[in-house]
Structure 1
Amino acid sequence: MNEMRPKIIPGSGVTLHFSLTLPDGTEALSTYGEEPLTFNMGDGSMVAGLELALYGLRSGMEQTLMLTAEQAFGMRDEDKVHPVPREDFPPEMVLEPGQVVAFDTPAGDELAGIILTLEDARVVVDFNHPLAGQEVSFRVSILDVQPPATTQTTDGS
């Protein structure tokens, strides 16, 4: 009776466990053993390429897909590597290569960057997603699917 369960479509509410594994077997991220992820399809909680792999699945289904870098987090973009003046960091902040630092954007959002190198007057920061340029294995277990919320007009229709 799996066919009676709602399929994942745009706007569906989804609760799932997932893991991302690199080709060398390193698990980069996993919700297994933790709280599952709950979100609405299309709300930006999940990368579009990962979301695309979920369409058509129903609760109780599991799947593992190998996703190319383009399908997952995109290719590395050298235009996202920027020198940042050292004076933009608090003077007491200890900086080191590989460190993840949060930055506030002009729009008020938070953006993470990874410190690549330290120089006297500047810090070179990579704003690519840490998994950009990586092929990943995407394993998912669908726990629950809720149909998209319907909106009603003011006349009740």
Structure 2
Amino acid sequence: MNITRDTHVSFHYALEGTDGEVLDGSRDAEPLTYIHGHRQIVPGLEQALEGRAAGDTFRQEVPPELGYGERDESKVLELDREAFAGMPGLKIGLFCQIEDEQGEMRLGKVVALDTREVRVDTNHPFAGQTLVFDVEVVAVRAATEQELAGSDR
């Protein structure tokens, strides 16, 4: 069976920067699964998986606009240090959940701090990067009605 919309796909991957450094992956764990055509993985990778079948292996370079997006400096927030008063161990590199102006929770990384302010970057860690996916398709089957009901149609 080939990968098309509404198929359940399992695949292993290694995510590399353009310098070949492995940034993430599933090779030492369970394969990643998703329902094809429902925007559950980055668009550039989903496009590259279209039409593939179990056993296929390939490498795909994905530019930022088809991956995790371009970096957006407006997503680097300057917050009052008081807002972090109940957070012990506040330091550069710490990931934290913050609430934005619309009341939605966002994951951010502390990139700078002083006695008055904390700078938090809420860009995806891979935003602005061209990425290379080394992929092995493990299994492809029709998604069940229950799986489709739980996906973003």
TM-score by length of 2: 0.83
SS in 1 for 2:46: helix
- The structure richer in helix per residue is 2
CA contact (8 A) 1:49 1:73 kept: no
Q: Which residue does the alignment assign to 2:22?
A: 27
CA contact (8 A) 2:4 2:37 kept: no
Q: Which residue does the alignment assign to 2:91?
A: 96
Count of equivalent residues:
144
Matches within 5 A, 1:7-156: 7-103=2-98, 106-107=103-104, 110-149=105-144
Q: CA RMSD in A?
A: 2.1
Alignment deviations for residues 26-74 of structure 1 (CA, whole Å, 9 cap, x no partner): 1110100111111212444322232222111111111101122222211
| Structure 2, unpaired ranges of 5+ | 147-153
> 1:134 & 1:26 partners in 2: Cα distance?
13
Alignment deviations for residues 110-138 of structure 1 (CA, whole Å, 9 cap, x no partner): 53211111022221111111011111111
Percent identity between matched residues is 31
Larger radius of gyration: 1
> 2:106 & 2:54 partners in 1: Cα distance?
33
Partner amino acid for 1:127?
T
| Structure 1, unpaired ranges of 5+ | 1-5, 152-157
